[in-house]
């Protein structure tokens, strides 16, 4: 049993390269540390201008808003009574506001509102003079600055509006002018990068790609012997197998400029933008001298031209044409290599795949048993595992899993261990994580009747019993009647080793195994249910492939009938005719039906012969 390596010790603080991306260099203000370039005068920050303007406005407006009151406030009746008693010595009348301020005989200050708009009536003014009160009238002048601001404020607002509109138009014009520039992200050796050491397995793929790295490092060695490095390299494989990861590893190993862009970055609503971005992308690469251009999901712009009813998309085809021209226009002495990744190579344009453009096609398929072990070691690094965790068992338990699937399994197991309060990851969490990745999480909230549970138990027992009895099927690994995702239950069979070829006997036994669940329902329930819908779909697909693709029918013979419909191209296939006659189509249907009936009869015979075993299996 293979043990997991102990987690590596943490790096000492303050040493080594910083984790994570480095801050971008600002070409306007200086280096990445934020310091300004020497010899350039520093400018005042913009916020200081707004602070000064705010202080100035506060100095002007706030004093005029604050109340200017001195002494006690008196009613006008009380003020007149004090005048009659001779207790008032002097008053000051504000002709503008009508406010009266004055001083009593005891030296106290007072103020009151006047009896009229001007402050004093003629009778009260005569009374003051009779009592010998000093009367003074004042007319305060208005603030000239406030008057000027009142007149200039509309003008300032209008000017500010036009300045804002001008700057906005200039910004939009700048965006329009730069819309044809490439959106590629540039990576250099200063940033943390992935290397081939971070990729487990795929020894043959690494060898193919290493030649590209060696050419970028030492191009003279290849030129001396007359070798020409491939201009383009296409990475082909199912999703999740690590195509983009290999491209990042090439950038890290080569130590040259690396431009990364996706196929959708070339497309825009304006005609001609995609071709302009392609030209700008290759110009950037040529300025670097030695560089790699990586285009992810190239099928978005590299589809076959002329697809679609009435022609193709003009903008996409212009972008593809420009890409083809740029790849042909490479100087032989220029070390610029185009790498691309796709999981749909069948829909790419033939002109893009020909030698001289994409000279080398590297297939990155799902990893085999040894590859899965190596990938599991990488993702298990640094995580606490129980002593009973065996990588061999996990690798055999996950046939057909990609690198992304395996990484998800380890991560799901770690999440489950943390959720259940464990300090280490055990095989229980890993088994549950594999089931989650394959069929989804358990649906404990789904309530089923006892009759439905009994039907599901016999259904899965029928699959397992037929698979166990037939000699050419994979061993049964697990039977589950717990609802997961859209499945009410499932039976899992695992091969003892990876298979790349299947015989006719193995496919025939697989058909019987797929129909074992439906046959069990017929025997026990006496009726059929909708639970076998997926089994019937898979069985029909396998039987039709045996007849039309694999040549396993004695009646039809070794013929390929019908083309694989991976993608609909209306402009090419709208009026196409099948490559076989109606009589051959009738024979195909009869052969498929005969294979399904034979598999059904074989499963029925096995389950009737082992009826007691089926009952025991369903009751456990």
> Where in the sequence numbering do the catalytic residues fall?
460
User: Distance between CA 411 and CA 433 in Å, rounded?
Assistant: 8
Going from the C-alpha of 467 to that of each of 502, 513, 596, the distances in angstroms are: 16, 5, 16
User: Distance between CA 358 and CA 351 in Å, rounded?
Assistant: 9
- Could you give phi then psi for residue 491, rounded to 5 degrees? -120, 125
DSSP states of 294-352 as a string? EEESGGGT-BPTT-STTS--HHHHHHHHHHHHHHHT--TT-EEEEEEEES-GGGB-HHH
User: Distance between CA 576 and CA 573 in Å, rounded?
Assistant: 5
User: What are 477's two structure tokens?
Assistant: 């690994």
CB contact at 8 A, 284 and 313: no
Angle between helices 582-609 and 533-548 (to 10 degrees): 130
Q: Name which of 8, 370, 363, 362 is nearest 200 in CA terms.
A: 370
Q: Indicate the burial class of 367 (C-beta count within 10 angstroms; 0-12, 13-18, 19 or more).
A: buried
Strand partners, 205: none
User: Distance between CA 379 and CA 397 in Å, rounded?
Assistant: 16
Across 91-107, b (16+ Cβ under 10 Å) vs e yields: bbbbeeebbbbbbbeee
Signed CA dihedral, 278, 284, 290, 293: sign only: negative
CB contact at 8 A, 599 and 615: no
User: Distance between CA 247 and CA 294 in Å, rounded?
Assistant: 7
């Amino acid at each position: 049993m293979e043990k997991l390596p102990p987690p590596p010790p943490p790096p000492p603080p303050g040493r080594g390269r910083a984790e994570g991306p480095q801050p971008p260099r600002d070409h306007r203000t200086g280096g990445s540390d934020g310091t300004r370039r020497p010899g350039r005068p520093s400018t005042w920050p913009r916020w200081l201008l707004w602070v000064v303007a705010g202080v100035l406005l506060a100095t002007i407006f706030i004093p005029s808003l604050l109340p200017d009151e001195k002494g006690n406030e008196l009613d006008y009746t009380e003020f007149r009574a004090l005048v009659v008693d001779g207790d008032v010595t002097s008053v000051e009348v504000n002709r503008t506001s009508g406010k009266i301020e004055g001083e009593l005989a005891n030296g106290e200050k007072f103020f009151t509102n006047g009896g009229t708009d001007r402050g004093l009536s003629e009778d009260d003014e005569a009374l003051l003079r009779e009592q010998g009160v000093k009367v003074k009238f004042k007319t305060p002048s208005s603030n000239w600055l406030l008057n000027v601001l009142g007149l200039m404020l509309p003008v300032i607002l209008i000017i500010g509006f036009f300045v804002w509109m001008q700057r906005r138009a200039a910004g939009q014009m700048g965006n329009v002018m730069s819309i044809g520039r490439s959106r590629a992200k540039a990576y250099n050796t200063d940033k943390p990068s992935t290397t081939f050491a971070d990729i487990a397995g795929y020894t043959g793929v690494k060898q193919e790609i290493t030649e590209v790295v060696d050419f970028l490092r030492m191009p003279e060695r290849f030129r001396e012997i007359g070798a020409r490095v491939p201009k383009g390299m296409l990475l082909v494989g199912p999703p999740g197998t690590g195509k983009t990861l290999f491209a990042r590893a090439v950038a890290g190993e080569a130590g040259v400029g690396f431009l990364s862009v996706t196929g959708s970055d070339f497309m825009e609503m304006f005609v001609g933008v995609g071709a302009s971005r392609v030209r700008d992308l290759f110009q950037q690469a040529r300025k670097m001298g030695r560089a790699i251009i990586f285009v992810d999901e190239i099928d978005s712009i590299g589809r076959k031209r002329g697809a679609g009813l009435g022609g193709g998309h003009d903008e996409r085809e212009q972008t593809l044409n420009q890409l083809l021209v740029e790849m042909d226009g490479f100087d032989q002495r220029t070390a610029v290599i185009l790498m691309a990744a796709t999981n749909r190579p069948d829909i790419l344009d033939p002109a893009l795949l020909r030698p001289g453009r994409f000279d080398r096609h590297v297939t990155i398929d799902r990893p085999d048993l040894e590859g899965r072990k190596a990938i599991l070691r990488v993702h298990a690094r640094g995580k606490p595992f129980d002593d009973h965790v065996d990588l061999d068992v996990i690798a055999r338990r996950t046939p057909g899993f990609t690198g992304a699937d395996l990484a998800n399994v380890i991560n799901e197991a770690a999440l489950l261990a943390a959720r259940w309060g464990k300090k280490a990851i055990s095989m229980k969490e890993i088994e549950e994580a594999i089931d989650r990745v394959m069929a989804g999480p358990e649906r404990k909230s789904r309530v089923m009747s006892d009759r439905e549970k009994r039907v599901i138990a016999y259904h899965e027992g029928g699959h397992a019993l037929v698979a166990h009895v037939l000699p050419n099927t994979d061993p049964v690994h697990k039977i589950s009647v717990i609802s997961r995702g859209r499945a009410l239950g499932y039976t899992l069979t695992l091969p003892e080793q990876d298979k790349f070829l299947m015989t006719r006997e193995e496919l025939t036994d697989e058909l019987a195994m797929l129909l074992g669940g439906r046959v069990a329902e017929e025997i026990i329930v006496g009726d059929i249910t909708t639970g076998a819908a997926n089994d019937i779909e898979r069985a029909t697909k396998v039987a039709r492939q045996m007849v039309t693709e694999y040549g396993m029918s004695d009646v039809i013979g070794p013929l390929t009938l019908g083309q694989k419909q991976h993608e609909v191209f209306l402009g090419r296939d709208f009026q196409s005719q099948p490559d076989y006659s109606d009589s051959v189509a009738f024979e195909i249907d009869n052969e498929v039906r005969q294979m399904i009936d034979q598999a059904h009869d074989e499963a029925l015979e096995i389950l009737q012969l082992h009826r007691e075993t089926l009952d025991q299996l369903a009751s456990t």
